[in-house]
Structure 1
Amino acid sequence: MKWIYRIGIFLARILLLLGGLFIPKIKHFSSGRKNLFQRLTDFRSENVGPLAWFHVASLGEYEQARPVIAELKRVRPDQLIAVSFFSPSGYDNAIKKDQLNVDFITYLPLDSKTLAKKFVKNLKPDVAFFVKYDLWYHHIEAIKSREIPMVLFSAAFRPDQIYFKRNGFFRKILFQFDYIFTQNQSTLELLKSIDYQDANLTGDTRFDRVSETAKNFKEFPELAKWIGARQAIVAGSVWQEDMDLLIPLMNANPEYRWIVAPHDLNPEPMNRWSAQLSLSATRYSQWDSDLSPEVIFIDNIGMLSSLYQFAKVAYVGGAFGKGLHNILEPLGFGIPVIFGKVKKAAKFPEGGESEKYGCGFEVSDEESLKSVFAKLEQPEFYQQSADSAKKWVQMNSGAADKIIAKVEDLITKA
């Protein structure tokens, strides 16, 4: 199996080279990795000392890593932090501005034996963290060969994944980790079923992240003034399928202020949605704050996580398409959240968990959305939901502290 994997990686490199000639996204994927090792060498020559390496697939996993990075920096202020991304979208977003507590941001090279050994040798980490998934055999092998403590946190596995279907190459990757911290009990049970014992349920570190965001949100005085004494609904990361349900609800409830943050910032869908609304609407970038439209479309990146401060109720999109976006962000503000029917519930367990605790509500069509919205307009039902959101987030916070406490023990023993 190892040889098949290596041949697959080799063929992937060839396809990326060829695809980069014709497909801009593939070209961007490859060109971003040019001079990777030179940048790495320059960084390490100028920054000596102990270093913790965090590998994340993309932006969502980076958000899960940030509370752990912050706690590690608190415990070890002199520790250098390096973060590697596999996805260009995650990397591009992270490098747009300075990242608190992070000293170096890089791409992860493709997972060939030579590149992985070179990467780990030049980076010289004292401890390595993988977040949720994106487990690359040769990089993990290179870490293990140098006897560097290595952990996986916010792990959320499913029974249909290859690690649990058969023993062999992929399952052995899990056994290279010194410790695995799981998001949920089902993942812990799966690990026990293959006789992996060095694991513990610590929860999803995103709860720590959303709690911190809710305490230190960005302020938008012009939006606060626009909302005034009215109540606001915030719809975050919405797609066309979500707007098909939301537009009739918005038209039927003009007394609210509506903040809509599309997943895609292309103005064409926003213009089309505006035309379908009986309410006045504008894009945030074109808004004259002296005017008072009923709907504002947020056409930039970076605002959404703080916009939930204004919401009475939140709607989070994506469930009807590629996958549910982050429902924990509004819940961190103690806000009930509505979302579409999740196609692959096992991939988004927070949806079902939020429903169980009474702070999340799944809808499948216009009628179910209308029904849930009507319930949340009832003061007693709403208050119960909001209280449940606060309790659920509080109950699941603190994962970063538990992870770093254990990692401290692993580093001491190394």
Structure 2
Amino acid sequence: MPIFYSLAIRFYYVLLYLASFFNQKAKFWIQGRKNWESRFKPTANKKRAWLHFASLGEFEQGKPLLQAIRKQHPEKEIIITFFSPSGYEVRKNSNLGDYILYLPLDTPANAQRFLDIFTPELVIFNKYEYWFNFYKACADRGVPVYVSSAIFRPNQIFFKWYGAFNRRILGFVQHFFVQNKESAQLLASIGFNNATVCGDTRFDSVLDLAKSRKDFPLVEAFKAGSKLIVAGSTWPADEALIHNYAELLPKDWKIIFAPHEIGEEKITGLQKLLGEKALRYSATSMDQEMPLANYRYLVIDNIGMLSSLYSYGELAYIGGGFGVGIHNTLEAAAWGLPVVFGPNYQKFQEAKDLIAFGGGFSVKTQNELNQVFNVLVNDKEDRAKAGAIAKEYVAAHTGASAQIMAKIF
């Protein structure tokens, strides 16, 4: 089976290589991995911790662990790897890592070279990504592999009759730090009892973000005493629904859009949808001729503002639920905002919890969105109650990072 796995990995590389000629992300993915081993010459005899993140969201989720290692073990160097360009390209200059790079293609040779160069004494993979050759190479050398904020579902291949190879990968893990009891029970059902239920480190991360809000005078001038819907990490399907609802929105309400993708084509497409009542953040100044307060929509065209933008809002819509899955609901919840999102949220425990407790709301159609928004926009008490539930939920689920640090170190 490892032979077929290695063939599949190489075939995947070929597909991305071909895609790189016309897809920017694929181009970054390929170019970022070229000659990776020649770019790093770590000092010998240094103790190092290696943390891997699939993408930007997982990095933000695991950030409290990086910060804790930096603070509690300053003698250790930190290696950070990313699978996706959306993580590496945004955080490649983070001061939380001494070495930051793309995870090399998962081949036996790359795994051995990586460990030869960096010689980590421990490895933490965040949430998911189970790479056979890297895991096996670590296990063969006695380097413990931990998985933080792990979450498992019955429909995953690990729990199928044909998942023997994937279960073998799990066997290389020293310890799983899982988000919920269901995940621990699933692991136990296939013979893995090395799991601790400690929750999700994202709660620690978003609480830290909420304590370090950034001020944006331009946003304050745009809001100008109005109430705000903050639509974060949106995609075109989300934006169309919200724009259609805008006709029903009272005049003292405005909308901020922070799209998930901020390429020029995406931003100009959103501006075209919203019309002349829309401002583009980077093209706006405090002293422009028309007052900022006269506009209805503000389009954010950069990365890094969203977690603080929620502090200006009364209500949040989280994008992605009409695609592969919703984005981060906790950043908005930490500020005490009710969160609304599309139907594809089943992979996210916090979304299910927020719905169950009354701090989150899922919608499938335009009519459902209109109904939910009408209640939350027009009923101040219902909105405040839902927001308080969301905020309390976040506060009650912090502490995973401390548990993980105590267990590992």
- The verdict on a shared fold, with TM-score over 0.5 as the criterion, is yes
CA distance in 2 between counterparts of 1:372 and 1:143 reads 49
Q: Which residue of structure 1 lines up, in the alignment, with residue 395 of structure 2?
A: 394
Q: Which residue of structure 1 lines up, in the alignment, with residue 353 of structure 2?
A: 353
CA distance in 2 between counterparts of 1:118 and 1:261 reads 40
CA distance in 2 between counterparts of 1:231 and 1:73 reads 40
Which amino acid is 2:375 matched to? K
SS in 2 for 1:177: coil
The reply to whether residue 194 of structure 1 matches residue 187 of structure 2 is no
Q: Per the alignment, do residues 15 and 370 of structure 1 end up closer, same or farther by CA in structure 2, a change over 3 Å counting?
A: closer
The reply to whether residue 93 of structure 1 matches residue 95 of structure 2 is no
Which amino acid is 1:137 matched to? F
Q: Which residue of structure 2 lines up, in the alignment, with residue 122 of structure 1?
A: 117
Displacement of 1:261:
1.1
**Normalising by the residue count of structure 2, what TM-score does the alignment of the two structures yield?**
0.92
Q: Per the alignment, do residues 268 and 110 of structure 1 end up closer, same or farther by CA in structure 2, a change over 3 Å counting?
A: closer
Task: Spell out the pairing of 1:302-341 with structure 2 (5 A cutoff).
Answer: 302-341=304-343
Q: Per the alignment, do residues 23 and 264 of structure 1 end up closer, same or farther by CA in structure 2, a change over 3 Å counting?
A: closer
Say which is worse superposed, 381-390 or 393-402, in terms of deviation.
Answer: 381-390
SS in 1 for 2:75: coil
Displacement of 1:105:
0.3
Contact 2:53 2:83 survives alignment (8 Å): yes
Q: Which residue of structure 1 lines up, in the alignment, with residue 149 of structure 2?
A: 154
CA distance in 1 between counterparts of 2:25 and 2:176 reads 33
CA distance in 2 between counterparts of 1:362 and 1:155 reads 24
Q: Per the alignment, do residues 341 and 48 of structure 1 end up closer, same or farther by CA in structure 2, a change over 3 Å counting?
A: same
Task: Spell out the pairing of 1:36-55 with structure 2 (5 A cutoff).
Answer: 36-40=36-40, 42=41, 44-45=42-43, 48-55=45-52
Number of aligned residues = 401
**Normalising by the residue count of structure 1, what TM-score does the alignment of the two structures yield?**
0.91
Which amino acid is 2:114 matched to? F
Contact 2:53 2:125 survives alignment (8 Å): yes
Displacement of 1:252:
2.4
CA distance in 2 between counterparts of 1:273 and 1:22 reads 23
Task: Spell out the pairing of 1:354-369 with structure 2 (5 A cutoff).
Answer: 354-369=354-369
Task: Spell out the pairing of 1:154-233 with structure 2 (5 A cutoff).
Answer: 154-166=149-161, 168-233=164-229
Displacement of 1:380:
2.3
Which amino acid is 1:310 matched to? Y
Displacement of 1:158:
1.5
Q: Per the alignment, do residues 109 and 269 of structure 1 end up closer, same or farther by CA in structure 2, a change over 3 Å counting?
A: closer
Q: Which of 88, 106, 109 is the equivalent residue of 1:111?
A: 106
Contact 1:85 1:107 survives alignment (8 Å): yes
Contact 1:158 1:346 survives alignment (8 Å): no
The reply to whether residue 300 of structure 1 matches residue 297 of structure 2 is no
SS in 2 for 1:346: coil
Deviation string, structure 1 residues 78-101 (Cα, Å, up to 9, x no partner): 221110111122111112xx3242
Which amino acid is 1:336 matched to? P
Contact 1:339 1:363 survives alignment (8 Å): yes
Displacement of 1:25:
4.2
Contact 2:184 2:193 survives alignment (8 Å): no
Contact 1:188 1:200 survives alignment (8 Å): yes
Q: Per the alignment, do residues 19 and 317 of structure 1 end up closer, same or farther by CA in structure 2, a change over 3 Å counting?
A: closer
The reply to whether residue 75 of structure 1 matches residue 72 of structure 2 is yes
Q: Which residue of structure 1 lines up, in the alignment, with residue 137 of structure 2?
A: 142
Q: Which residue of structure 1 lines up, in the alignment, with residue 235 of structure 2?
A: 239
Q: Give unpaired runs (5+ residues) of structure 1.
A: 409-414
Say which is worse superposed, 195-204 or 365-374, in terms of deviation.
Answer: 365-374
Contact 1:280 1:295 survives alignment (8 Å): yes
Q: Per the alignment, do residues 136 and 399 of structure 1 end up closer, same or farther by CA in structure 2, a change over 3 Å counting?
A: same
CA distance in 2 between counterparts of 1:277 and 1:108 reads 39
Q: Which of 281, 285, 289 is the equivalent residue of 1:288?
A: 285
The reply to whether residue 33 of structure 1 matches residue 29 of structure 2 is no
SS in 2 for 1:38: helix
CA distance in 1 between counterparts of 2:114 and 2:176 reads 23
Displacement of 1:278:
7.5
- TM-align CA RMSD: 2.0
Q: Per the alignment, do residues 387 and 5 of structure 1 end up closer, same or farther by CA in structure 2, a change over 3 Å counting?
A: same
Displacement of 1:393:
0.3
Deviation string, structure 1 residues 264-290 (Cα, Å, up to 9, x no partner): 324555555555557721111122324
Q: Per the alignment, do residues 296 and 404 of structure 1 end up closer, same or farther by CA in structure 2, a change over 3 Å counting?
A: same
CA distance in 1 between counterparts of 2:127 and 2:114 reads 21
Say which is worse superposed, 201-210 or 359-368, in terms of deviation.
Answer: 359-368
Displacement of 1:228:
2.8
Which amino acid is 1:31 matched to? Q
Which amino acid is 1:101 matched to? L
Displacement of 1:246:
0.7
CA distance in 2 between counterparts of 1:64 and 1:310 reads 23
CA distance in 1 between counterparts of 2:14 and 2:368 reads 49
Q: Per the alignment, do residues 85 and 255 of structure 1 end up closer, same or farther by CA in structure 2, a change over 3 Å counting?
A: same
Displacement of 1:21:
5.6
Displacement of 1:17:
4.9
Which amino acid is 1:72 matched to? I
